[in-house]
Amino acid sequence: MNSKFLSMLGLAKRAGAIIIGTDLVTKTLPSGRVKLVMYAEDASANTEKKITDKCRFYNTSCIKTGFSGDELAHATGKLSSVMVIGITDENFSKGLISLTSNETR
């Protein structure tokens, strides 16, 4: 992944299309508003398991970003580490997924 991913994440933040934080994201998942969940590369094993299990249960896309919590915080304008981000806009989620899949090819 690259700076395009972080730039798109910043755009999503400015558009009001993201939810930040493990608790907020897990509370919002049952409503179906969250289209994509991303978590930081340095998220704890417990956080990773909690998020991936919830996403699997609610049939929501989930990706490990490859960025640290500090890098995600910088991209979203937060001061402290960001471990989990939920994307609520379908177009932003598709764009972020395409950027991650292009990177793995």
Domain residue limits at 13: 3-104
Q: Is the pLDDT of residue 105 over 50?
A: no
Residue 60: CATH number of its domain: 3.30.1330.30
Q: Is the pLDDT of residue 95 over 60?
A: yes
Structural domains of the chain, count: 1
From CA 30, how far away is CA 6, in angstroms rounded? 27
In tens, the pLDDT along 79-94 reads 899 999 999 999 999 9
Q: Give the closest residue to 83 by CA, choosing from 16, 34, 26, 22.
A: 22
Q: In 10 A of CB 103, how many CB atoms?
A: 12
**Global confidence as pTM:** 0.89
From CA 12, how far away is CA 77, in angstroms rounded? 11
Say which amino acid occupies 25: V
Structural contact between residues 27 and 91, judged by C-beta atoms closer than 8 angstroms: no
In tens, the pLDDT along 25-61 reads 999 999 999 999 999 999 999 999 999 999 999 999 9
- The band of 99, judged by pLDDT with boundaries at 50, 70 and 90, is confident
The pLDDT value recorded for residue 30 is 94
